[in-house]
Amino acid sequence: EGIAVGRSFAMYKNYNIDGNKEMIAIGTMNIVGSFTSCYLTTGPFSRSAVNYNAGCKTAASNIVMSIAVMLTLLFLTPLFYYTPLVVLSAIIVSAMLGLIDYEAAIHLWKVDKFDFVVCISAYIGVVFGSVEIGLVIAYFGYCCLLQDQEHLFWETFQTL
């Protein structure tokens, strides 16, 4: 998930990331953190989306955000106790809506309808299920596409 998030932001910011280096960095952080009983290291998509929409440019924004979260947890937690989870989740969803590339989906519709259906199915799987469900839907959709293309290949080959 962390690499997928990194690639989506790299696309918006026009820079390249190396998936191997990302995996080595995450693995190293998890190994070092295990010596001090830390939680596993990940790159949460929602926090990155909120930072992006807030206009954060550097990693120093994480320091400011961690101090703000710490002060909020120390002093304002009683105020959030009665806030419905729907309100809190709406804040995250509204931050993530800016990351959806509608033009790419429209282009996909014009180029290949089946790919568009797989894309929308995976999106619905992620939104209403989880990232894993969305990936499974996309995987099986493309398996169906490959099976159909293989069938067409063999029909074409037999006519030659």
Cβ(121)–Cβ(138) below 8 Å: yes
For 48-62, what is the mean pLDDT?
Answer: 77
Residue 90: inside a domain, yes or no? no
Count up the domains in the chain and report the number.
2
Convert the pLDDT of each residue in 72-108 to its tens digit. Answer: 888 888 887 777 888 877 877 777 777 778 888 899 8
**pLDDT value of position 69:** 83
The pLDDT value recorded for residue 44 is 62
Q: What is the pLDDT confidence band of residue 153, given thresholds at 50, 70 and 90?
A: low
Question: Would you say residue 111 lies in a domain?
Answer: yes
Residue 70 main-chain phi, psi, to 5 deg? -60, -45
The whole domain housing 111 covers 101-159
Residue 44: how many CA atoms within 13 Å on its side-chain side?
7
- Domain assignment present for 75: no
3-state SS string over 77-142?
A: HHHHCCCCHHHHHHHHHHHHHCCCCHHHHHHHHHHCHHHHHHHHHHHHHHHHCCHHHHHHHHHHHH
DSSP 8-state code for residue 35? T
Q: Supply the pTM of this predicted model.
A: 0.46
Share of the chain above pLDDT 90, in %: 1
Mean per-residue pLDDT, 64-77: 86
Last residue of a domain, one of 42, 57, 72: 57
In a domain, 88, yes or no: no
Q: What is the pLDDT of residue 160?
A: 56
Q: Does residue 131 form part of some domain?
A: yes
Give me the pLDDT at residue 72, please: 86
Cα–Cα distance between 15 and 156 in angstroms, integer? Answer: 41
* pLDDT for the residue numbered 156: 60
For the chain, percent of residues with pLDDT exceeding 70? 86
- How far is Cα 149 from Cα 154, in angstroms, rounded to an integer? 9
First vs last C-alpha separation in the chain: 45
- Per-residue confidence band for 27, with pLDDT thresholds at 50, 70 and 90: confident
* Average pLDDT of span 146-158: 62
User: How many other CB atoms sit within 10 Å of the CB of residue 55?
Assistant: 7
Question: Are the beta carbons of 134 and 126 closer than 8 angstroms?
Answer: yes
